[in-house]
């Protein structure tokens, strides 16, 4: 891979999304709709559901939010006892209906639908090879690469072909695959993205997060294991070790930002408890004299509570969030991010006026949001001092495994010292949680990926050596 290809790869916007599947329920599509609703925080640009009645597959998908897409009329067009669903935000293919999943394809073994959460680091190479072999792609989603690999693989069964295809792909992936009479769940050998198995009303359920189980009243059974292929059909469950798992590399950012606080992920660990622990350790590492601790809602809330508990500084809601505006981190354009902060947050002057304020947020990526928040708290809220406390380490490297941090140069901490960032966002002080503090907050800290904080990537990718060279040029 040449330097130009690497630059193009680094500028891609990665896929991040939520997936949900169910087998064995007469209202499969309706249950999937509810599951996607619970996973809406994982992607807001589009959604799709594919169902099967055992003879035929049906699909409905569109741009927009789950509740807006799936009207009663559309859900009635999705009969069957099996279904998979997908929430999406931007991938390399930008905001386009052709990239909304599940993707459906027909080949010699019949029809399949695939929903994917993650990012394949060798997708471009595989796509180029497949196109040279005659494959025609209809979308820009990595998911379609998996479909073509499976169609081209040898084997008399879909399981055999999938196992063969999995040997060729690299990266982070949680997959749901639907056939007329079968549901298959697959997780990459590093277990980068969460994926859990549950039981509801006699049916089996698979979801990115357990908060979807809670909504419908399902029972959590276990996580899909890294490297596992779980086949669900009339014969019950069949667990296949499709890939050898040498070590775990769970995404630590799930705990910091992405997952819902009420979810249990990566072996049944509660997200809210971990975030509060991050806040307590942050208060221990970076104390400050102040009058009030406030969160940047909503993802900064648990860490701010933890900071307040450890420091003894009172907690209050000094910023009010408008929940009808999308999350700024996962919207596709920086111009929308820039405008969205004003729409999304408003300071409460009664709480902030003439106060020394600790503001707890989960991360600083580009710095643009933090700068506007500090300005609002000072100018509109009347705060005397603003002390930013970040419940994660400095984000210095791009993610290649499914998070929207496409280039190092967009990450303010990759090329600026903490004091420089403090001046840029106009805070009176700024402190980040240390790597050691982050690792103290989670059980089995060696089981996580910290690449966005360390530039040490657990899964190699094309052009990695050029990225490492680039570290010395920024």
DSSP annotation of 436 reads H
The answer to whether 342 and 372 have CB atoms below 8 angstroms apart is yes
Closest to 330 measured CA to CA, from 380, 294, 357, 365: 365
Q: Is 251 a catalytic residue?
A: no
Residue-by-residue DSSP string for 351-420: HHTT-EEEEEES--SSSHHHHHHHHHHHHTT--SEEEEEESS----S--SSS-S---GGG-GGGTS-HHH
Output the six-digit token pair for 388. 């930013």
Marked catalytic residue, from 17, 50, 449, 452: 17
- Reduce the DSSP state of residue 310 to 3 states and report it: helix
Separation between Cα atoms, residue 55 and residue 80, nearest integer Å: 9
d(CA 157, CA 229): 14
Please state whether the peptide bond connecting residue 298 to the residue before it is cis, i.e. omega within 30 degrees of 0: yes
From residue 307, alpha-carbon distances to 137, 300, 442 in Å are: 50, 11, 17
Long-range contacts of 325-333 (CB under 8 A, 24+ apart): 326/44, 327/41, 327/44, 328/369, 329/257, 329/365, 329/404, 330/16, 330/43, 330/44, 330/89, 330/404, 331/44, 331/89, 332/13, 332/45, 332/89, 332/90, 332/94, 332/95
Residues carrying an active site annotation: 17
């Amino acid at each position: 891979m040449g330097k130009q290809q690497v630059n193009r790869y680094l500028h891609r916007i990665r896929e991040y999304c939520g997936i949900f599947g169910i087998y064995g329920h007469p209202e499969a599509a309706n249950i999937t709709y509810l599951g996607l609703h619970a996973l809406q925080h994982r992607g807001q640009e589009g959604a799709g559901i594919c169902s099967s009645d055992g003879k035929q597959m049906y699909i409905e998908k569109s741009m927009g939010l789950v509740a807006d897409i799936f009207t009663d009329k559309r859900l009635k067009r999705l009969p069957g006892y099996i279904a998979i669903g997908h929430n999406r935000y931007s991938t390399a293919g930008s905001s386009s209906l052709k990239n909304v999943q599940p993707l459906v394809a027909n080949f010699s073994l019949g029809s399949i639908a695939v929903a994917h959460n993650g990012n394949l680091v060798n997708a471009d190479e595989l796509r180029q090879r497949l196109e040279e072999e005659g494959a025609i792609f209809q979308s820009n989603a990595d998911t379609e690469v998996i479909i073509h690999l499976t169609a081209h693989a040898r084997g008399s069964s879909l399981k055999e072909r999938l196992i063969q295809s999995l040997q060729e792909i690299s990266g982070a992936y949680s997959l749901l695959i639907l056939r007329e009479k079968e549901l298959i769940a697959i997780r990459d050998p590093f277990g980068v993205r969460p994926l859990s198995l549950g039981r509801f009303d006699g049916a089996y359920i698979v979801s990115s997060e357990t908060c979807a189980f809670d909504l419908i009243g399902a029972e959590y059974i276990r996580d899909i294991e890294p490297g596992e292929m779980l086949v669900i059909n009339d014969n019950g469950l069949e667990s296949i070790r499709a890939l050898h798992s040498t070590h775990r590399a769970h995404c630590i950012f799930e705990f910091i930002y992405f997952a819902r606080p009420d979810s249990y992920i990566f072996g049944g660990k509660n997200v809210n408890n971990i975030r509060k622990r991050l806040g307590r350790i942050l208060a221990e590492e970076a104390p400050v004299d102040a009058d009030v601790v406030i969160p940047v809602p909503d993802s900064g809330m648990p860490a701010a509570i933890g900071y307040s508990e450890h420091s003894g500084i009172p907690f209050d809601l000094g910023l009010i969030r408008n929940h009808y505006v999308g999350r700024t981190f996962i919207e596709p354009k920086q111009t929308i991010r820039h405008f969205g902060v004003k729409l999304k947050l408003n300071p409460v002057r009664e709480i902030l006026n003439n106060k020394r304020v600790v503001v707890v947020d989960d991360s600083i990526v580009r710095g643009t949001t933090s700068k506007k928040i500090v300005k609002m708290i000072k100018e509109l809220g009347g705060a005397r001092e603003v002390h930013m406390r970040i419940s994660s380490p400095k984000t210095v490297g791009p993610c290649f495994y499914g998070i929207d941090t496409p280039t190092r140069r967009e990450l303010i901490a990759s090329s600026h010292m903490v004091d420089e960032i403090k001046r840029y966002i106009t805070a009176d002080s700024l402190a980040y949680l240390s790597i050691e503090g982050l690792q103290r907050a989670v059980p089995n800290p060696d089981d996580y990926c910290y690449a966005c904080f360390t530039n040490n990537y657990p899964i190699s990718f094309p052009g990695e050596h050029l990225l490492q060279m680039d570290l010395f040029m920024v």
